Each structure stands twice: as C-alpha cells, then as structure tokens.
C-alpha cells in the first residue's frame, strides 16, 4: 500500500507538472505559481481539510442523536481510522515536491518546512483527539520511508543537473560559441565573401 501511494502521489504532484510544462515555460510566472500552489496545498490546505473532517463531525453531532441504540452512537464516536502508510506517503510527497523544484523555486523548501511544522501540530491533535486508536504498528513503513527520502534527495540532485544542463534561462542572448549568422547586407558591407 505504501509503495503504491508514494509512487502515484509523487507522479501526480511533481512529475506530471514537469512533463506538461513546455521547456520555454519553466520560468514563467504561471509555471512557478502552479508549483507554488501545489506546495502550498500540501503544506496548509490538505492538513486543514483532513483535520476538519466535516462528515464525521456531522455524524457525531447530528446523526448520533437519532441513533436507535447506544452501540450505534458509540460507533460514530470511535474516530476516523488512519494508516501510517498514508501519512508517510503524504510527508515524503511534500519533501519530494519541494526538492524536485528547489532549483526553480527555492522558496518551496521554506514553505514545506513551515508545512511540516503545521502538519506536526495538526496530526498530533488528530492523533490525540479525533483519530481511532490503531492496533500495534511495526516499523517497516518507517524504514521504507527513509529509503524514499534518500531517493528524493537523489532525484533533487538529478533534476538540478538536468535543469542546469538544459539551462532554460539563456535564450535571451546569442551564444558566444555559436553566434547568429550576420545578415547578407552586413557581410557585403564588410567585404566578406568578395574575391
């Protein structure tokens, strides 16, 4: 479950944006705002929506009043089930996204840092107040998540290399090694090509 969640979340957030963006549009305001919106959504919007959980609140405060028996009322107040694999996939996705675009949008690292602090507070509240108490959890997911974080750092290094080697920011001036050919009028005025 964890590997599938991580793979598809990484692809949907970082890689798809990279693929659909044209080479010349990497540094446009529209492209950077798109990346910023995804990073901000991971950092702030997603944890708020996950914590509010309006459906559960509606069941607990409205539907539970009309439950036929106490056992049914208790089911509404058990809390929402949560899975460590889902939480780790979400955290590695945020890190991967920030590292993937850190060359083009370095402020994303700071937004992700603030988002991690916010997610810590929100998840701690949810774990203590609103989520269901889980059964015993093994540390297999944690060990795999550490490997994913190292892979995210490798992808950061690779994407930095790709972006700097393609360097989409230098199309402003002609190259020194390959200057643009001079128009025929200038060549004729300089006497080039005449014998």
Phi and psi angles of residue 80, each rounded to the nearest 5 degrees, phi first: -80, 135
What sign results for the dihedral spanned by CA atoms 30, 36, 39, 42?
negative
pLDDT reported for residue 195: 47
Indicate the helix (H) or strand (E) that contains 97: helix 84-100
Tokens representing residue 64 in the block: 């539970």
2-10 and 84-100 are packed helices; what angle lies between their axes, rounded to 10 degrees? 30
SS3 for 80? strand
pTM for this predicted structure: 0.74
pLDDT at 24: 73
Mean pLDDT per 10-residue segment, the chain (195 residues): 80 83 77 88 87 85 88 85 84 90 90 93 88 76 86 90 72 55 54 52
What is the torsional sign of CA 62, 63, 64, 65? Answer: positive
The tally of CA atoms less than 13 A away on the side-chain side of residue 188 is 3
Do 56 and 126 contact (CB within 8 A), yes or no?
Answer: no
Give φ, ψ of 68 to 5 degrees.
Answer: -70, -25
């Amino acid at each position: 479950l964890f590997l599938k969640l991580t793979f598809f979340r990484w692809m949907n957030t970082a890689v798809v944006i990279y693929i659909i963006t044209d080479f010349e549009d990497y540094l446009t305001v529209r492209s950077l705002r798109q990346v910023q919106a995804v990073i901000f959504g991971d950092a702030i919007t997603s944890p708020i929506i996950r914590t509010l959980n309006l459906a559960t609140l509606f069941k607990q405060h409205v539907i539970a009043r009309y439950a036929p028996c106490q056992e049914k009322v208790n089911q509404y107040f058990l809390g929402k089930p949560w899975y460590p694999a889902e939480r780790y996939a979400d955290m590695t996705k945020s890190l991967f996204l920030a590292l993937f675009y850190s060359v083009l949008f370095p402020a994303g690292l700071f937004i992700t840092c603030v988002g991690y602090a916010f997610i810590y507070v929100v998840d701690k509240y949810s774990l203590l107040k609103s989520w269901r108490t889980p059964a015993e959890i093994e540390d297999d997911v944690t060990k795999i998540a550490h490997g994913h974080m190292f892979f995210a750092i490798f992808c950061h290094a690779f994407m930095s290399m790709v972006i700097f080697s393609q360097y989409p920011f230098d199309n402003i001036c002609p190259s020194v090694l390959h200057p643009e050919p001079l128009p025929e009028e200038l060549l004729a005025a300089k006497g080039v090509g005449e014998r």
